[in-house]
Amino acid sequence: MTASSASAAADKPGTFVAGDKTFLLNDEPFVVKAAEVHYPRIPKEYWEHRIEMCKALGMNTLCLYVFWNIHEPKEGEFDFTGNNDIAEFCRLAQKHGMYVIVRPGPYVCAEWEMGGLPWWLLKKKDIKLREQDPYFMERVKIFENEVGKQLAPLTIQNGGPIIMVQVENEYGSYGTDKPYVSAIRDIVKEAGFDKVALFQCDWSSNFTNNGLDDLVWTMNFGTGANIDNQFKKLKELRPNSPLMCSEFWSGWFDKWGANHETRKADDMVAGIDEMLSKGISFSLYMTHGGTSFGHWAGANSPGFAPDVTSYDYDAPITEWGAVTPKYYLLRETLQKYSDKKLPAVPKAKPIIAVPQFEITEFAPLQAGVQKTVESRDVQTMEALDMGWGSMQYTTTLPAIPAGATLAINDAHDYAQVFINGKYIGKIDRVKNEKVISIPACKAGDKLTILIEAMGRINFGRAIKDFKGITESVKISANVDGHDVTYDLKNWTIDLIPDDFAVAEAAFTAGSSQAKAGERGYYRGYFDVKKPGDTFLDFSTWGKGQVWVNGHPLGRIWSIGPQQTLYVPGPWLNKGRNEVVVLDIAGPKALTVAGLKEPKLDNLNLEKNNLHNNPGDRPDLNSDTPVAAGSFKPGNGWQTVKFASPAKGRYLCIEALNTQSGADVAAIAELYALDGKGQRLSREPWTAKYADSENDAQGNHTLDKVYDLQESTYWATVPGVAAPHLIVIDLGSEQTLSGIDYLPRAEQGAPGSIKDYKIYLRK
């Protein structure tokens, strides 16, 4: 028995319950001060260090998700060893006097691949995720029982550190289905969590949709939120309930092609200070974000917005475990609410610099092909029993005249098109691209489409995210004055998994001297005198993944904002170290260096992210608005009903002024209402035009009004006077009867629009 196991076994059984306006720990009032940390995002060798960091910050609890897909990578094969040993993580927490809140899903979101659901569920193409689909529920029960075997012995009732367990996760943002949530509750109870306190979390705007009478209700909201307003409805419904913010967002996650997200330390600490002064419990999401190593970073929706490898989150503890000004400011505040002096802050782990070195060996991408399938129709990755990686689709073309276009429906996620091996162009799902022009082709020419899959969508209804080509490939051409469409068939499909074993084996068939610009596998070496953490700089590389000494570091993409990958010191050897890079776009230069600081905010885009093309601005002078009026001041959702239903594809909202009279206008979320007053899906929406977007101070671009996140928002640049205009492309012509509008969630709803005009255009 390990020392930490002995410590857990020696503890006496205890109790933790929801009392009258407070939690009760062993019958004494207890305010939860929880630090959200994710064990797969931290090398196991650093688990104890990070736990000590959280304790020194002033936290008394650790909050953690359980990631189904990392524990059951293949159906029926479970892994709770090594970095997946969640029970050991909990025992270490107890060793350091910390309690634990467990969130076993089955869905977790977390900007993690498919929100924690395993990809192999999609082998059953008609599966309904997060619903009472028989197969889905069968697999959930099997998984939760395995979690129970690991963690049920560690509940406080059994002398362990686990005081609360969550049922599902933010289900109100997915749907309304109390029978499903009830079924998940029952599964969690039957897995061994029948005596521990159970809770469910949601947003203040939707928590009643799925709230179960026998569960504790908690709210999720972010830095700067109006805290009294967030708990107002809960206090009305349950006046004697203890209050808890189960996710108080310290920062935000980053996506490829956008600026690094940050949140003000003063605002974060002020919110926690206010909650503690009122006896409100909290969990700080994230206290330490860590890294989405390998292929585990997910993607957000509507649209497709893949997350970067770093999960730094602008948290008080950095991705690599260092303290920040946020940390010290929060520590000062938490000390006020502790009757003991907080422990000393643990020493930081050493950081080293690695001199620039060359990557010298190369193996072609084709060397990574593990399986080839002949198929009349295109097939998805899941249909061919592969979870992650790339696919090559090749077919023979008929004669195609000049001026033709090729459409991929749909490319998930990054497609490169070749004819007879020559690169023609790309189709990028991030940009909602579907069509590319192709040159004239002779009969017998070979078309090849290389698809790289990025992380599966982790939030919203689009989590059922198949990879590869999901439907068809078509060529449209004009032949002798006739419009002709070719639905391409008879494909040869090559599968290239992104496993390290595949990358390493690619060199066994023979390697060549590496040259810049080629697509494939690259290998090089560097020496270290004394291992320590470092950041490998891939600024000159294209797009793909990296391994060091067999450890997956994560994804790279030249567009940024992330340009370096974090390398934990325990993964390095004294002496020689191996780097393998899979680059599906090709590097500009073959150099890499290990830096002492990361590059997390270096964008390198073909064009900026703003939606301010003058040609996209509609002339509304001769148009009649479908609605005009004034919004009410303050927080919360508001509905505008049109005098009569109207048809159009482009929703145009003109903000004539703001409630405060200031020039900055903002919108947190928008919904369009159909002819029956129901909210339309926003999956097809794209941002068409905005006269002003503040992307320099927090990515407040137009797409934030439909990103399913109530804490993010579109905002105009300070100093740009009203009126302001935004235009949303609904994806197709729709009949609308109104809109739902949500101002910012902070006290006073800053940037709230006062007078407005709404137009619909075809």
Instruction: Tell me the per-residue pLDDT of 85-96, one tens digit each, with 9 for 90 and over.
Output: 999 999 999 999
Q: Are residues 115 and 202 part of one domain?
A: yes
Confidence of residue 608 (pLDDT cuts 50, 70, 90): confident
Q: Are residues 467 and 407 part of one domain?
A: yes
Confidence of residue 696 (pLDDT cuts 50, 70, 90): confident
Neighbours of 624 (CB within 10 A): 9
Q: How far is CA 622 from the centre of its chain?
A: 42
Structure tokens at 496: 């290239």
Per-residue pLDDT, 607: 82
Active-site residue identified among 144, 168, 247, 669:
247
165 part of a folded domain: yes
Task: Say if residues 694 and 700 touch (Cβ distance below 8 Å).
Answer: yes
Q: Are residues 674 and 537 part of one domain?
A: no
208 part of a folded domain: yes
347 part of a folded domain: no
Q: Are residues 307 and 218 part of one domain?
A: yes
How does pLDDT run across 149-188, given as a tens digit for each residue? Answer: 999 999 999 999 999 999 999 999 999 999 999 999 999 9
Confidence of residue 509 (pLDDT cuts 50, 70, 90): confident
Domain boundary among 454, 489, 524: 489
Q: Are residues 570 and 430 part of one domain?
A: no
Q: Are residues 158 and 16 part of one domain?
A: yes
Residue 1 has pLDDT above 50, yes or no: no
590 part of a folded domain: yes
- Report in angstroms the alpha-carbon separations of 402 from 97, 406, 437, 438: 71, 12, 9, 8
List b or e across 464-477, with b for residues whose CB sees 16 or more CB atoms inside 10 angstroms: bbbbbbbeebebeb
Per-residue pLDDT, 324: 98
Active-site residue identified among 52, 111, 144, 170:
170
Per-residue pLDDT, 627: 97
Q: Are residues 388 and 525 part of one domain?
A: no
Task: Say if residues 183 and 132 touch (Cβ distance below 8 Å).
Answer: yes
List b or e across 169-207, with b for residues whose CB sees 16 or more CB atoms inside 10 angstroms: bbbbbbeebeebbbbbbebbbebbbeebbbbbbbbbbbb
Per-residue pLDDT, 5: 37
Threshold 0.85, pTM exceeds:
yes
Specify burial of residue 53 (Cβ count, 10 A radius: 0-12, 13-18, 19+).
buried
Q: Are residues 277 and 145 part of one domain?
A: yes
What is the domain extent for residue 685? 614-761
Domain boundary among 436, 454, 489: 489
**Three-state DSSP class for 138?**
helix
Per-residue pLDDT, 559: 97
How does pLDDT run across 394-430, given as a tens digit for each residue? Answer: 999 999 999 999 999 999 999 999 999 999 999 999 9
- Which of 137, 250, 246, 240 lies closest to 200, judged by CA? 246
605 part of a folded domain: no
> Can you list the positions of beta strands (E) in 72-175?
99-103, 162-166
CATH code for position 532: 2.60.120.260
Q: Are residues 747 and 705 part of one domain?
A: yes
CATH code for position 100: 3.20.20.80
Q: Are residues 250 and 166 part of one domain?
A: yes
Number of domains in the chain: 4
Q: How far apart are CA 35 and CA 247, in angstroms?
A: 10
Task: Please identify which residue in the block is written with the tokens 């947190």.
Answer: 668
Residue 7 has pLDDT above 50, yes or no: no
Domain boundary among 489, 512, 532: 489
Q: Mean pLDDT, to the nearest integer, of 592-597?
A: 98
169 part of a folded domain: yes
Structure tokens at 9: 């076994």
149 part of a folded domain: yes
8 part of a folded domain: yes
Structure tokens at 700: 């407040």
Q: Is 68 left (phi over 0), alpha (psi -120 to 50) or beta?
A: alpha
Q: Please confirm, yes or no, whether 170 is among the known catalytic residues.
A: yes
How does pLDDT run across 650-685, given as a tens digit for each residue? Answer: 999 999 999 999 999 999 999 999 999 999 999 999
Q: Are residues 391 and 360 part of one domain?
A: no
User: Please, where are the H alpha helices in 64-111?
Assistant: 68-71, 86-95
Q: Are residues 183 and 44 part of one domain?
A: yes
